[in-house]
Structure 1
Amino acid sequence: MKRILTVTLNPAIDYTLVVPDFARNAVNRARAVRRDPGGKGINVATALSQGGFETQVTGFLGRTNSLIFNNHFKDNSMRDSFLYLEGSTREGIKVVDPIQRETTDINLDGFFITNSDIDRLKNQFQDLLTGVDYVVLSGSLPPGVSKGIYADMACMASQAGAFVAVDTSGEALQLAIESGSVHLIKPNMEELGALYSELSDAEDIMAGVEILSQRLLKTVQMVALSLGREGSHLYTRQARYEANAPIVDVKSTVGAGDTFLAGLIAGLASGKNDAHSLAQGVCWAASTLTMIGPGLSKTEPPESFLNHTLVSKL
């Protein structure tokens, strides 16, 4: 069994409010509310653990409100290697509108991270890399953290022999790519466009997806793009693949992109070829879309979408 380590530097406790016909500048009534430990790397690890993989998680957490994370890690058999700091982990609000099929995110900043905290994390990260096969560096950066931290950690992981996946945005993503130590990136359309300022709008980006991906493949080995209802693409130096999006009764999009990455990593870690790994990512994401909250649905598991997922070589 392959060992997988995920890094979440800016986790959050997510409050998800279900608000049918959510209206701006008006009084709205929530029909349901739930509270989940979140953060992109944690979401990836949650899906992988539920999918039967050995996962370890690290990053920064605040001691004050850590119990929800502690219980989640224990319930999902995830090895907890987080650094616990004074203060509270940030909170975020997600408003899910099941009528309009929209999700509105309100994210708060995390607590400030000192240089000493970063040094401690890097030293621990180096120790954790022993025997790890896959490393996922995922999510935004908290205040005080250098934009180059993912690039630094990618170099450390790659030198230790691990496959490195990065899912972040902006300068942090750009520097990670330029490090030459990243094997897989998973940008969305907005993040992809931000890497190339000459593209002015979504149509330009969509039309140039293949060209942009070919540019990126000069530095990374794989580019995975999840395009929502338009399906998903996987570009490698050897081939290009496209997968359709299965028809799903979408309850919420929260965490679906993270689960897509988890499924893709799960496929690669299981020795599946690129096409089958892409299909697995699509099926895992579809399972998440059928429920509110991160992880894999028990009532509509990933395998229930396999016969409805077609991967084509472009």
Structure 2
Amino acid sequence: MILTVTPNPALDLTWHVERLVEGGTHRADAGVARAGGKGLNVARVAHAEGAEVLALTTAGGKVGEEFATELRASAVPHVLVPVAAETRRSIAIVDEARGDTTIINERGANPSDTEWATLFAEVVERVPTVSVLVVSGSVPPGAPESLVPMLLAVAKDAGVPVIVDTSGPALLRAADAGATVLKPNAAELSEATGIADPIQGARSLIARGTELVLLSLGADGMLAVTASDLVHARLDQPLAGNPTGAGDAGVAACAVLYADGVRDPEQILRRATAWSAAAVLTPLAGDISPRWTDLEQQLLLSHPDSESFRPDSESFRPDSESFRKDPS
């Protein structure tokens, strides 16, 4: 079973507009509200693809009630820890004309020490029965610095691999705590490590104790970086659509393969890239298109030299506009 932990969940609100104009007034059909946050998106995708999952997160306030109602309706197995603070919201506005998405994320509120202890106790109870732990998403402002390392320690003591998708100082703490897999994008990696070159940044995480870094490159696909290998996967041309949740789909693919005992970086990269691309073809985060099998067959894989590797697209640069937009 795959256990996902989402430290900072959100009620995801998605609207589609014909064209987004800065400072303008827009009309849209009724939006869609969905219980989200990266770990929940991972659980949704893995569950839809037949994996056994359990999603663990928090919920509070009026928004939390709507969040819980939608999650129950989704049929994704889950455990919600009640908290006093209001569950945050995340707003995605999809520009149909340009084929891109503008995202506004509320920062979220930090649960109390007692509430964190309850969530941690749930992890301690369940980790011995799972095959993979996924810790995914941001941590709320003010959260204990020890949160992510403590979650990893519980899993490591039980011999359970841990996949972490987070950003900022929490990304470095996860590497130092020995996360099995880390899944940043280039902007997150550069911000956390202070290293402009994404491959060198990924290798710095390996040096801290991580076995595998899956590095999202936006339109240029994804890299799998280990201590001894570098593998690049991409489609022959980018897909237009909604990239929200694409990175989460890649994490779901990695988790499903790890749960099945697969450890080959190339096989993991191939599936993660295909599921990420398939997520772009769907309107909501937490879904992937059934076309993923075809996309997987279309991928271009290479083992480039790390000193000379440079993708074709300008989006590879961590300060590029596409990386600032990429929420994966």
| TM-score (ref. length: structure 1) | 0.89
| Cα deviations by residue, 1:28-60 (Å, 9 ceiling, x for unpaired) | 222562211110000011111011111011121
Q: Structure 2: which 5+ residue stretches go unaligned?
A: 305-328
Amino acid of the residue matched to residue 59 of structure 1?
T
Tell me which residue corresponds to 2:271.
280
Do the aligned residues in 1 keep the contact of 2:3 with 2:55 (CA within 8 Å)? yes
Instruction: Give the partner amino acid of 2:187.
Output: E
Match of 1:117 among 115, 120, 123: 115
Amino acid at match of 1:224: L
- Structure 1, gaps ≥5 residues long: 200-204
| Aligned 1:214-233 pairs, distance under 5 A | 214-218=203-207, 219-233=209-223
Report if aligned partners of 2:249, 2:288 keep a CA contact under 8 Å in 1: no
Instruction: Report the equivalent of 2:301.
Output: 311
The residue correspondences of 1:191-206 to structure 2 (distance < 5 A) are 191-197=188-194, 199=195, 205=196
Q: Aligned-pair distance for 1:266?
A: 1.9
- Report the more deviating stretch, 63-72 or 268-277: 63-72
Alignment map for 1:60-139 (pairs within 5 Å)? 60-62=58-60, 64-66=62-64, 68-70=66-68, 72-74=70-72, 76-139=74-137
- Whether 1:257 aligns to 2:255 is no
Which amino acid in structure 2 is aligned with residue 211 of structure 1? Q
Task: Give the aligned partner of residue 48 of structure 1.
Answer: 46
Tell me the alpha carbon deviations over residues 179-220 of structure 1, each in whole angstroms, 9 at most, x when there is no partner: 2x21111111111111233x4xxxxx3xx2222222221210
Partner SS state of residue 34, structure 2: strand
Query: Runs of 4 or more off by more than 3 Å in structure 1?
Result: 63-77, 246-249
**Segment of structure 1 superposing worse, 47-56 or 235-244:** 235-244
Cα separation, 1, equivalents of 2:287 and 2:25: 33
Fraction of identical pairs, as percent: 27
8 Å CA contact retained: 1:58, 1:80: yes
- Residues paired across the two proteins, number: 302
What is the aligned partner in structure 2 of residue 270 from structure 1? 260
Q: Is the 8 A contact 2:220 2:238 kept in 1?
A: no
- Let me know the Cα RMSD of the aligned residues: 2.0
Q: State the SS of the aligned residue for 1:129.
A: helix
Q: Distance in 1 between matches of 2:183 and 2:54?
A: 20
Q: Distance in 2 between matches of 1:270 and 1:87?
A: 37
8 Å contact from structure 2 (residues 53, 77) kept in 1: yes
* 3-state DSSP of counterpart to 2:128: coil
